[in-house]
Chains A and B, each alone.
Chain A
Amino acid sequence: MIKRSKKYSVFSLVKNALSYHENWQPAWRNPEIKKEYDAIIVGGGGHGLTTAYYLAKNHGIKNIAVVEKGWIGGGNTGRNTTIIRSNYLWDQSAAIYDHALKLWEGMSQELNYNVMFSQRGVMNVAHNLHDVRELKRRWHANRLNGVDCEWLNTKEVKKFCPVINTSPNIRYPVLGATLQRRAGTARHDAVAWGYARGADAMGVDIIQNCEVTEININNGNVTGIETTRGTIKSKKIGVVCAGHSSVIAKMAGIKLPLESRPLQALVSEPVKPVIDTVVMSNTIHAYVSQSDKGELVIGAGTDGYNSYSQRGGFNIVEDTIMAIVELFPLFSRMKMLRHWGGIVDICPDASPIISKTHINGLYFNCGWGTGGFKATPGSGWVFAHTIANDQPHALNAPFSINRFSSGELVDEHGAAAVAH
């Protein structure tokens, strides 16, 4: 068996520096697949890995496999613009996203892995009277829910983020903004790797390059999965496959209310620090932050049609860049270095599904769409609870699949700002 790197510390750094960093051990094992597990998590993105981690840590279920078709974090977890915030409108959303935000605040210490969580604040900018009303409504709703939020007028916006164009003469002038100071960004890959390492240390098998091709069901009970690397048995299966959720659901004869669409992002050449917060605008659809490497991280909107191709239309990128350049004229000559797409699972009410199904032992966690990165630890926390107890945690009870029949939707479309 390979020896795993134990605790990372200043001493381990010095020790490994002496051997030119050639002797670091892998952060997790590459295990043999067992015949049977107590639980299988399908999908090794952030949400799948946190689910396994909290199943082991909070519920003592350690004989778990996380089965991933590619490499962990290669889905939307490693493709998103890493905005973390909890300033959602409705009580149900504020509760689950703020629970997640609290977990982010202690994550690097808990995992002994630096996820570079940076509470640099997120500003949601208003450009017209309607925006002002909506954002002020959200500001008050947030405060009633104990979620920190402030209202900034145009002058205060300029003071908080000096490079933003607050001229009254632009097409969409800045009329104010909400600011959540506890919000910010984190390093997405590190989140996947940190939770993978933590889960592995508790005995979870992380199995990469293994695609689930069938779900085995007997008399309404789940019995296991077929994969490109053989059959694996388990009486509990949690599916956390983002854009591919509908494909997996179909294997179990379930139809979901999801549509999978490309969502694109791009980064610029690295420059010196110029913007130390996250700026989001719903109306002109732009959002931007700057990574610690100095790149501007810019997110676009979704394409208007279903696709699994992990690439979107150029017109979408063009729209976003137009908006960015109007808000930040000084970025107009920057070169964009990389550009990519991820496939997001859009739910009709822009809220997730974290739910049991009518098949015993089969659970789905999906529908996070364009905005689930921020929820990564909270999502795993409540999904682990749901799987372990065969009933939802209070925080995810409102996010059952049954809401599409009952009509109790949690409509965050308008309220979720620019939805990321």
Chain B
Amino acid sequence: MLIINCPYCGEREQEEFSCGGEAHIERPKNPPDLNDDQWADYLFLRQNIKGLQYERWNHSFGCRQWFNVARNTATDEILAVYKMGEKPPALESNNPITPCGEPAIGSGNFSTSKK
């Protein structure tokens, strides 16, 4: 289980939070002008990154505030927590060596990344 540092309440267990998915997706400014592909992109298509990902979380069983988290989805390490409206911080992260390789910590299949 993740331990998440809520910017308003401090460290709490992940069970108190819900994840709101990829961060920094902006609602289109001109909805009537969008074609179907652009709507699909906004509504459904996601980066679903293996490695450093910026995502939104809500402290749903706490202060109920939204905030952003930078997390490495290959290792589950949380690298930064920052408030809504702030720009994503530039970060170094322990991304897999090959795009689909497994990191040194994480899961069982090291077949391609453990040199």
Contacts and interface: CB of A to CB of B under 8 A. Distances in A.
Nearest to A311: B107
Interface of A: 69-71, 74, 209, 211-213, 228, 241, 244, 246-248, 250-251, 255-260, 304-311, 313-315, 341, 348, 404-407
Contact of A213 (B19, B41, B99): B99
Interface string B1-33: 110000000000011001101000000000000
Contacts of A255: 41, 45-47
Contact of B74 (A241, A308, A406): A308
B76 A259 contact: no
From A74, A247, A309, A341, residue with most partner B Cβ within 10 Å: A309
A250 B100 CA distance: 11
Contacts of B68: none
A257 B43 CA distance: 9
Contacts of B50: 244, 246-247, 260, 308
Interface string B46-79: 1111100101000000000000000101111000
B107 A257 contact: no
Contacts of B19: 304-306
A405 B39 contact: yes
B91 interface: no
A157 to B, nearest CB: 32
B71 to A, nearest CB: 8
Contact of B101 (A211, A251, A405): A211
Majority-rule SS of A interface residues: loop
A251 B100 CA distance: 11
Nearest to A74: B109
B100 A260 contact: no
Interface of B: 1-2, 14-15, 18-19, 21, 36-37, 39-41, 43-50, 53, 55, 71, 73-76, 98-102, 106-109, 111-112
A127 B106 CA distance: 38
Given A211-B101, A255-B47, A309-B75, A405 B40 contact: yes
A236 to B, nearest CB: 21
B98 A211 contact: yes
Majority-rule SS of B interface residues: loop
Contact of B45 (A247, A256, A306): A256
Contact of B111 (A69, A241, A244, A247): A69
B44 A348 contact: yes
Nearest to B77: A309
Nearest to B113: A211
11 contacts: A211-B98, A255-B45, A256-B46, A308-B107, A310-B107, A311-B76, A313-B14, A315-B1, A348-B43, A404-B40, A405-B40
Given A246-B47, A255-B47, A309 B107 contact: yes
A265 to B, nearest CB: 14
A307 B76 contact: yes
A306 B55 contact: yes
A405 B48 contact: no
Contact of B98 (A213, A260, A311): A213
Given A71-B111, A211-B101, A228-B112, A306 B18 contact: no
A247 B99 CA distance: 7
B100 A404 contact: no
Nearest to B15: A315
A255 B41 CA distance: 8
4 nearest interchain CB pairs?
A310-B107, A246-B48, A257-B44, A305-B19
Contacts of B15: 313, 315
A279 B99 CA distance: 38
Contacts of B53: 306
Contacts of B71: 305
Nearest to B1: A313
A246 B106 CA distance: 19
A120 to B, nearest CB: 30
Contacts of B73: 260, 306-309
Given A74-B109, A228-B112, A258-B46, 16 more contacts: A70-B109, A212-B100, A213-B99, A228-B98, A246-B46, A248-B99, A257-B40, A258-B48, A306-B73, A308-B73, A313-B14, A315-B15, A341-B107, A348-B43, A405-B36, A405-B37
B48 A256 contact: yes
Contacts of A311: 76, 106-107
